Structure 1
Amino acid sequence: MLPAPLSVDRSSNLLVELPETFGNLKDLKALYASNNGLRSLPSILFKMCSQLSILDLHGTEVTMDVLRQFEGWDDFDNRRRLKHQKQLDFRVSRSAEFDEGADNSYGAAS
């Protein structure tokens, strides 16, 4: 049996840093750390947490410039984009009725 994906929510906890041990959470899929005093993240987070695809840092001092400097950022960003692309593809693939309706709504040639 595979371990369940891990989601950690540390939002609104007055945190100024997350411990490096977060990098040991190999099954971490989602990290919510919004509304804290964070300026950075554990240096190994993106490299070691290879399942991470959701990261919420709203209301922190962590910037995109900081995130892009981390080893493993590009892999994380690709996972994040792929996750959203799959959601978009799913919505589009179920749109057969919409496509037919769109064709008919603009009037078919009589």
Structure 2
Amino acid sequence: MGCFASKGAGSKASRLSRWQATGIVALQDGKLKACILFLVFTSFPDEVLDLGKSVRTLDLTHNKLVDVPEEINKLMNIQRLILANNVIERLPMNIGKLQSIKFIMLDGNRLTTFPDEVGQLVRLERLSISGNLLTSLPETLGSLRNLLLLNVSNNKLKALPDSIGSCFSLEELQANENSIEELPTSVCSLVHLKSLCLDHNNLKQIPPSLLKECKTLQNISLHGNPISMDQFQQMEGFNEFEDRRRKKFDKQIDSNVMIGSKGLDEGVDL
């Protein structure tokens, strides 16, 4: 069933005008209100790419996107790129040209590799690529000096790159549900790290100086790894870590923040 051409043209013009004025393009679940009310995208809409530098936020969550086009570099001022829950298999090299971007979410896709060019995104603060098929991460990740959060959970990683220690601003690292066997010692250089989540990997030990060097670490979760609490408690810096962890939860209690069922053990899950 179709619709009147004039009505469709008016809707498109209004939509483009709104996107250009706000800089926000949100087409989650393929709900584009045009002639077809529920259109599932398999590729980037041309009209979005044509907006070029006007776009600040692009959200194409829950569609059927297979890849990201090379023309993504047209969105030169984009700050937030949200492409979760699609079927994306690859990222273009041109993604490295998005020099204004601060937030990327690619959770729940089919990525098997991550391009080296991501290291060019020097303003990136939050990168979430959980639920993909990644077996490795590029060493260029270490160039992301402003990165605050990295989520690589639910992939097929066997290791984290040595360069991770150069992500000096990193505060939260989530790498649950992988096959990681050991952490690079460079992790000990993450002096701003507050939370380290490595549940359900194959870790038998963690770098001996981790607790001593990471002086802001408040939460570490190692549930489902072949590592014991005794090993953890014998690490240098454990007492100081324990003090920070308890102060964190005492502050939450004082602020009437709900604490989960694990209570005060929640910050050190082994």
TM normalised by structure 2 equals 0.32
Contact 2:169 2:190 in 1 (8 A): no
Considering only CA atoms, is the larger Rg found in Structure 1 or Structure 2? 2
Q: Which residue number corresponds to residue 14 of structure 1?
A: 179
- Equivalent of 2:254, from 89, 93, 96? 89
Which blocks of at least 5 consecutive residues in structure 1 are unaligned? 93-110
Higher relative contact order (CA 8 A, sep 6+): 1
- Equivalent of 1:70, from 235, 245, 248? 235
- Mapping for residues 7-86 of structure 1, pairs under 5 Å: 7-86=172-251
Q: 1:5 to 1:15 in 2, by over 3 A?
A: closer
- For 1:15, the aligned partner's letter is I
Q: 1 CA distance for matches of 2:182 and 2:170?
A: 23
CA apart distance, 1:61: 1.4
| Larger helix percent | 1
CA apart distance, 1:38: 0.7
Q: Give the aligned length.
A: 90
What fraction of aligned residue pairs are identical, expressed as a percent? Answer: 36
Aligned to 2:196, the other structure's residue is in SS state: strand
Q: Which residue number corresponds to residue 7 of structure 2?
A: none
Question: How big is each residue's C-alpha offset from its partner over 1:26-83, in whole Å with a ceiling of 9 and x where there is no partner?
Answer: 1111000000011111111000000000111111112110011110011001101110
Q: 2 CA distance for matches of 1:28 and 1:73?
A: 15
TM normalised by structure 1 equals 0.76
Which blocks of at least 5 consecutive residues in structure 2 are unaligned? 1-167, 258-270
Q: 1:59 to 1:81 in 2, by over 3 A?
A: same
- For 1:77, the aligned partner's letter is E
Over the residues paired in the alignment, what is the CA RMSD in angstroms? 1.6
